[in-house]
Amino acid sequence: MKNVKIVLLLIVMLVVANGSSIATTLDSSAFPYKYEANVLPSAFGPYVYSSGNGTAESSYASISDGIMTMDTDSDGQDSDSGWWTLAGGAGTSWNPHFLGGYTMEIRMKSFANNSGAYNAWFQWYDENSAILLQVWHNKVYLNNVVVADMDNQTDFHTFRIVANVYDSSAGQKFDLYRDGVLIIDDAPNFPEYPGSKFRFGDMTGFEESKVAVDYIRWDDKNAWAPIVPEPTTMILLGIGGLVLSVRRK
Ligand SMILES: [Ca+2]
Ligand SMILES: [Ca+2]
Ligand SMILES: [Ca+2]
Ligand SMILES: [Ca+2]
């Protein structure tokens, strides 16, 4: 009976210790909106393709095993552009509520390219906020904040933007997690864009993009921190060890 009480106490301590993170974390597979890159974005329905130089989507983008590769860089010319815009429709529009939390996550690789200026753009904006994420092969940029000296081209990585601080339009802040690790805390907002839009791709004529995208997922109504399983696993292992030591007595 004493052993049972000790185990119950430890379980209660575990729940209390993790209570706040249980309430605010969510794996992106449970987000309401997802582009999983099983088809080209235009075939996904709500994405509309555009190109400043009139080049077909299929010239830049291809699908293989659930990965969308976009390459405007390897064609020997430097005037390419091709991008996608989320055009809305039932259950598909980018429409975060005013002064509210929301979350986006992208899993991708970004390869070295010729431009030296930027790689793929992911841009969300509405009346309250504007977010510009650029994932390069060796760094990331989010709303004027840059984190350098990273390798984004060898393996896939997840990039999660969480909007969870907001007291006004100008006061909205964005956190960026890479593989569950916070790498940018409280990037500033670029407020007051007209309309509401979500776009990604190569949106200018000169700089070119070369990326592989596994998915883009978002929840425009909730701020979710990523799940980082290691600490809980460590605690459970610790409990297992304690239970064993209690039983031996
Ligand atoms: Ca090119
Ligand atoms: Ca923050
Ligand atoms: Ca370009
Ligand atoms: Ca995929």
Does residue 235 carry a pLDDT above 70?
Answer: no
Secondary structure of residue 230 in the 3-state scheme: helix
Q: Which residues contact 100 (CB under 8 A, 6 or more apart)?
A: 163, 166, 221
Q: How remote is the CA of residue 132 from the centroid of ligand 3, in Å? A: 16
DSSP code, position 25: B
Ligand lying nearest the CA atom of residue 28: 4
Average per-residue pLDDT for the chain: 80
213 C-alpha vs ligand 4 centroid, how far in Å?
7
Give percent above pLDDT 70 in the chain.
71
Least confident of 4-13, 38-47, 103-112, 181-190: 4-13
The stretch 163-186 carries a mean pLDDT of: 90
CA of 38 to the centre of ligand 4 (A): 6
Instruction: Decide if pLDDT at 193 tops 80.
Output: no
Predicted confidence (pLDDT) at residue 242 exceeds the cutoff of 60: no
pLDDT band at 17 (very low <50, low <70, confident <90, very high): very low
Q: List the single range of 65-69, 98-102, 196-200 with lowest mean pLDDT.
A: 98-102
| C-alpha span between 66 and 38 (Å, rounded) | 4
What is the CA(203)–ligand 1 centre distance, in A? 12
Rg of the chain taking only CA atoms, in angstroms: 21
What's the gap in Å between 106 CA and the centre of ligand 4? 10
What's the average model confidence in pLDDT over 224-237?
Answer: 69
pLDDT-based confidence at residue 194 (cuts at 50, 70, 90): low
Can you tell me the mean pLDDT for 95-103? 72
Asked if 184 and 142 count as a contact pair (C-beta separation under 8 A), the reply is yes
Q: What is the pLDDT of residue 15?
A: 42
Is pLDDT at 188 greater than 80 in this prediction? yes
At residue 2, the pLDDT reads 57
Indicate which ligand has the atom closest to the C-alpha of 185: 2
Average the pLDDT over 185-209 and give the result: 81
Ion ligand 3: residues, Cβ under 5 Å: 80-81, 202, 208
Q: Are 190 and 132 in contact (CB under 8 A)?
A: yes
- In angstroms, what is the span from residue 144 Cα to ligand 3's centroid? 20
Q: What's the pLDDT score for residue 231?
A: 56
Q: What is the pLDDT of residue 43?
A: 86
Residue 42: Cβ-neighbour burial (10 angstroms; 0-12, 13-18, 19+) = middle
Predicted local confidence at residue 169, as pLDDT: 75
Which ligand has the shortest distance to the CA of 204? 3
Domains of the chain by start residue, with CATH? 26-224 (2.60.120.200)
Q: How far away, in angstroms, is 165 Cα from ligand 1 center?
A: 39
